[in-house]
Amino acid sequence: MNQPVTKSALKPGSARLVELLQALNFGRIEALAIRGGQPVFDPPPRIIQKLKMGADNAPRPEMDYADFRLKDGVIELLELIARLGNGEIRSIEVRCGLPVSAEVEWRPETAVPPSRP
C-alpha cells in the first residue's frame, strides 16, 4: 500500500472523491476522469444515487469528520486510480459510502491490466 491511509494525507482530487463517496452513500459514479493518477472533476462525473423508500438516505456521518483512517476499499480504489495514470473509470459502485466495485476499460495490447500492480 503506497497510498495515504488518512483523509488529511490525500491530494485534493482524491479527498474530493472520498467526500463524494460519503455524500452519495449508495449508488454509482460514472465516467470519472483520471489524470496523472488522480481523479479530476472537469468534466464532472455522472452521479446516480440509489434511494431506498422509508430509509435514511442521508450522507455518511463521516462527512463531518475532519480526518479519519481510510477503509481498505477506498485505499484499493485510490491505488487503481494511481495505476491507471490517465484514463477513465466507467463506473464505481458505492455502498455505505464505500467503493465495492469499479469498471475500467483497457485494451488487449496493454501489457498489464490496471487491476494488477
AA identity, residue 104: V
Mean pLDDT by 10 residues, the chain (117 residues): 78 96 96 95 97 87 87 95 92 96 78 60
Determine the pLDDT at residue 117: 56
Determine the pLDDT at residue 49: 96
112 within some domain: no
- State which residues form the domain around 60: 7-104
53 within some domain: yes
Q: What is the pTM of this model?
A: 0.87
64 within some domain: yes
Q: How many domains does the chain contain in total?
A: 1
The CB density around residue 97, as the number of other CB atoms within 10 Å, is: 22
42 within some domain: yes
What is the grid cell recorded at 68?
479519519
34 within some domain: yes
Determine the pLDDT at residue 17: 98
111 within some domain: no
